[in-house]
Amino acid sequence: MKKLLLTALLSTLSAASAATLVFGGNGEPVSLESGNITDGISILVQRQIYDTLVDFEDGTTNLKPGLATKWTANANNTAWTFSLRKGVRFHDGSAMNADAVIFNLSRWWDKSHPYGFRDQGRTFEIVGELLGGYKGDATAVIKNIVKVDEYTVRVDLNKPSSVLPDVLAAGYFGIASPTAIKKDGAKYGTPASKPVGTGPFIFQSWRTGDRVTLLPNKLYWGEKAKVDQLVIRSIKDASQRLNELKAGTIDFANDLTPDSLKSVQGDKNLVAVKRPSFNVGFLSLNNRNQYLKNDKVRQAISMAINKKEIANAFWNGLGTSNASFLPPVLAWANSSKVPADYKFDPAAAKKMLADAGYPNGFSIDLWYMPVSRPYFPTPKPIAEAIAADLSAIGVKVNLKTEDWAKYLQDRNKEPGFDMYMIGWTGDYGDPDNFYGAYYGANASDDINWNPANVETLLQQGRAAATQAAKAKVYQQLHEITYNAAYRIPMVHSNPLAAARSYVKGWTPSPLGSEPFNTISVPGKK
Amino acid sequence: MGSYLIRRLARTLLVMLGISLVVFVFVRSIPGDPAVAMLGERATPAAAAALREQLGLNKPWFFNPANPLDAQYPKYITALVRGDLGTGLKSNIPVLDDLKSRFPATAELSVAALLVALIVGMPAGILAALRRNSIWDNLATTISLLGVSMPVFWLGLLLSYFFGVKLGILPPSGRLGTEFDIAPLTGFNVLDALLRGQPAAAWDAVRHLILPAIALGSIPLAIVARITRSSMLDVLNQDYVRTARAKGLTERTVTTKHALRNALLPVVTVIGLQAGALLGGAVLTETIFSWPGLGSWVYDAISQRDYPIIQGGVIFAALVVSVVNLLVDLSYAALDPRIQYS
């Protein structure tokens, strides 16, 4: 018995002596196969295993070299050439070169690729979303992928795009080892496989529903990891992530609720970390509604809601309200002709409503989300606050909600919702990723408003080569969408994260996740 | 006995077939579209339609006039007969693989919860019956009432915060400390750790089990205590117990040898019924305690409308409940010699 206890003690001590970094994730990754994911936690884990062609500078959405050291476009942005980093190897020892990059891009984009495993359920839907479609589709951005030489790849486009490098920098598109994909076949990316990239951490194990364990890549071409092991735990419940942080069983975590801020700040062992805002929570107003199709009604509604007060009350200082659909980091694309903040003036709003022919107001439905998101962490009380503001000008609001999957479906089904809460978190640092998601030809059909000039401007924005040229285009879009008031931005929130006080070197990205190779845990017991 | 078993197994098979049909129709009848759920906020009608086609969800449910077998149910049932439950729509993980890795976690937790219920509930019920109207009886009744009426999620959060954060004596959630890793053999962490010679990991796994087992076991505990009490009271008033006492047997012998065995029958029935309740209760407990079992997995699949996972999870849960009830029925014969199966 004594021997048994001694063995137990020794194994505990030896296990504890290694520097293990433990992250509390908000769930389990759906898949570790790059190109075939859309959820945040899969991206976060993949960012540790894979590198993307182009990367983001720490804490920003500015681009920096990744597996490509240089990327250049032709004169009209219809072909992008990527020069690849030499001497980089995948974790399985195979070479990262033009063939490997083309293998990855092709299996995402070409529906007939033999290693796309589409007959076994692969969908790669994010490619359709961010790159307009797949090989042969009339809407597809990519026309062809060409090997120029061993370390140069050219991507030819069907239409001009200045954002291709930004899109390929998004965490969805890590470059995986073709050897590993061929070896694991359709199991690649599942817990029964071994995902292989070139990133700072090497996959070790995935215990379903529980954790993913990674080891440092000692041969990493960039900044090497500073811990001996990285464990990413699946802790779905936000209050439980906070409990685990307080108990010291995890070192850092994302996506805590704004009302946890005081609790984190009151704990001397914890440090509150405000992730830079890269989202927008907004109200959508449906043009099919007899009242909302009136410009003055929508403007009156916008003016009657005290957005600043709502942001203060429900985000605990972790959210700002302004008159832009774009988060603050993209403020360069805002127009100076649009006021920085929405005017809150219930009296003027009431008068505007009377001018529109509704002096006694009217009754309308407001749908609120049944789930919590960083842009609307507590949708119901926020909806109640909006309803209270609108009742002050005579608009009676009926609050409604339903199951999330049905909510997402019904908003696009005619006649849709009168008015509903929704939001967006960006994938990469270009205004197109925000405006393009909710305006124009590729957007939701929820507001029944898609004027030709908006689509034209979106196309121009995608083609514009410089930030100055883009700014000119998006400033016009800002003015048009602000005056139209079909989508009323309510907040840009700073998702709350927290870490134990000994965690050093963590620079949260606005995009929601970042590689953890910069983090160390000196003094962790 | 042999023919009885065969009949029961054949009936179970028919039940499974019926359940496969019901769950197939049911999941497709609830509003909400898997393609839209997969795309989330970015779901546009065109993107959802394209994805639905890729996933084969645009095909008829039962019969395709152009190609009779190219419909969703025939494909599903044909695969099911081969033991293929399909793959998760989002994850592409075979449902069977997920079941294999997640069921042991739920089973381990359910067994622990049942142990909590039996170890605490039965003695409490016996004590309450033997000391009727005493302080022990009142205490046991109050605890049962609390157990039945306290919501599991609330109790779970309370236990996690109090013992995990405030006192810091047990882990707030999870199945195993990050300093340990146990390569699965049976999937039961405690057992696997012992089999692999990792006693420290086994102890850590036990520590992780305690709080979720108490939370999940709270309702069965209360029910077991109440049933044991009433059953014991009933038996203690029987003539044969009076005869045993008149013979001069000690109270301990009367209770353990004569009364308890007969009082156990209803308790065993309740345990069988609780197997289903434990699987249901596991949904909340597993979510609160980040327990990687079936409950949280199926719950997520329902919100995502992941049809293959919901179907596989429900059919498997039904199979488990059927098997547990069969075992319960068989145990009657062991407890009561008057019962024989033929």
DSSP per residue, B257-282: IIIHHHHHHHHHHHHHHHHHHHHHHH
- Tokens 């979303």 found at: A129
> What per-residue confidence (pLDDT) applies to B326?
84
Average pLDDT value for residue range B20-47: 87
Q: Which residue of B has its CA nearest to A438?
A: B42
- Tokens 């001996």 found at: A228
Which residues does residue A54 pair with via DSSP β-bridges, in sequence order?
A65
Collect all residues of chain A within an 8 Å Cβ-Cβ radius of residue B98.
208
> What per-residue confidence (pLDDT) applies to B258?
84
The token pair that represents B19 in the structure block: 């359940």
- Tokens 């049944």 found at: A370
Residue A209, sorted as left (phi over 0), alpha (psi -120 to 50) or beta, turns out to be left
Cα of B38 to nearest chain A Cα, Å = 8
Residues in chain A predicted with pLDDT less than 50, given as ranges, are 1-17
B275 touches B287 (CB < 8 A): no
> SS3 sequence, A267-297?
CCCEEEEECCCCEEEEEEECCCCCCCCCHHH
Return the number of other C-beta atoms located less than 10 Å from residue A50's C-beta: 30
Q: Show the beta-strand stretches assigned E in A131-207.
A: 142-149, 152-157, 201-207
Under an 8 A CB cutoff, do B171 and A249 touch?
A: yes
Residue of A2, A88, A8 lying closest to A52 (CA atoms): A88
Under an 8 A CB cutoff, do A422 and B55 touch?
A: no
Q: How does A134-148 read in b/e, with b if 16+ C-beta sit within 10 Å?
A: bbebeebbbeebeee
Query: If you compute the radius of gyration of chain A from its CA atoms, what whole number of angstroms results?
Result: 24
User: How large is the angle between the packed helices B95-130 and B307-335, nearest 10 degrees?
Assistant: 40
Q: Are strands A201-207 and A211-216 parallel, antiparallel or unpaired?
A: antiparallel
ipTM of the complex in this document? 0.86
Task: Report which secondary-structure segment, H or E, holds A310.
Answer: helix A307-315
Which residues does residue A234 pair with via DSSP β-bridges, in sequence order?
A25
Collect all residues of chain A within an 8 Å Cβ-Cβ radius of residue B172.
240, 243-244, 247, 249
Under an 8 A CB cutoff, do B171 and A15 touch?
A: no
Cα of B133 to nearest chain A Cα, Å = 41
Collect all residues of chain B within an 8 Å Cβ-Cβ radius of residue A5.
199
> What per-residue confidence (pLDDT) applies to B342?
64
Q: Show the beta-strand stretches assigned E in A218-354.
A: 229-234, 252-256, 270-274, 279-285, 319-320
Q: Are strands A54-56 and A63-65 parallel, antiparallel or unpaired?
A: antiparallel
Cα of A354 to nearest chain B Cα, Å = 35
Q: Are strands A152-157 and A79-84 parallel, antiparallel or unpaired?
A: antiparallel
pTM of the model: 0.90
Collect all residues of chain A within an 8 Å Cβ-Cβ radius of residue B34.
405
Is A269's Cβ below 8 Å from some Cβ in B? no
Interface of A with B in 160-189 (CB under 8 A): 186, 189
Report the half-sphere exposure of A294 (CA within 13 A, side-chain side).
14
- Residue count of chain A, please give it: 525
Return the number of other C-beta atoms located less than 10 Å from residue B268's C-beta: 18
Under an 8 A CB cutoff, do A123 and B172 touch?
A: no
Collect all residues of chain A within an 8 Å Cβ-Cβ radius of residue B289.
240
Is A405's Cβ below 8 Å from some Cβ in B? yes
Under an 8 A CB cutoff, do A129 and B290 touch?
A: no
Cα of A459 to nearest chain B Cα, Å = 19
Is A121's Cβ below 8 Å from some Cβ in B? yes
Under an 8 A CB cutoff, do A443 and B41 touch?
A: no
Residue of B39, A9, B159 lying closest to A1 (CA atoms): A9
Closest CB to B172: pick one of A30, A240, A405: A240
pLDDT in tens, B249-299: 888 888 888 888 888 888 888 887 777 778 777 888 999 999 999 988 998
Is A441's Cβ below 8 Å from some Cβ in B? no
Collect all residues of chain A within an 8 Å Cβ-Cβ radius of residue B105.
209
Interface of A with B in 343-382 (CB under 8 A): none
Which residues does residue A71 pair with via DSSP β-bridges, in sequence order?
A82
**What residues contact A481, with CB distance under 8 A and at least 6 apart?**
A325, A435, A439, A454, A487
Collect all residues of chain A within an 8 Å Cβ-Cβ radius of residue B293.
209
Tell me how far apart the alpha carbons of residues A325 and A17 are, in angstroms, rounded to a whole number: 48
Tell me how far apart the alpha carbons of residues A323 and A378 are, in angstroms, rounded to a whole number: 21
Closest CB to A408: pick one of B37, B97, B168: B37
pLDDT in tens, A8-32: 444 444 444 469 999 999 999 999 9
Residue of A474, A378, A396 lying closest to A434 (CA atoms): A474
The token pair that represents A497 in the structure block: 């994260």
Under an 8 A CB cutoff, do B45 and A406 touch?
A: no
Under an 8 A CB cutoff, do B91 and A30 touch?
A: yes
Under an 8 A CB cutoff, do A190 and B97 touch?
A: yes
Which residues does residue A420 pair with via DSSP β-bridges, in sequence order?
A284, A367
Under an 8 A CB cutoff, do A7 and B199 touch?
A: yes
Q: What are phi and psi of B202, to 5 degrees?
A: -60, -45
Is A20's Cβ below 8 Å from some Cβ in B? yes
Q: What are phi and psi of A272, to 5 degrees?
A: -80, 135
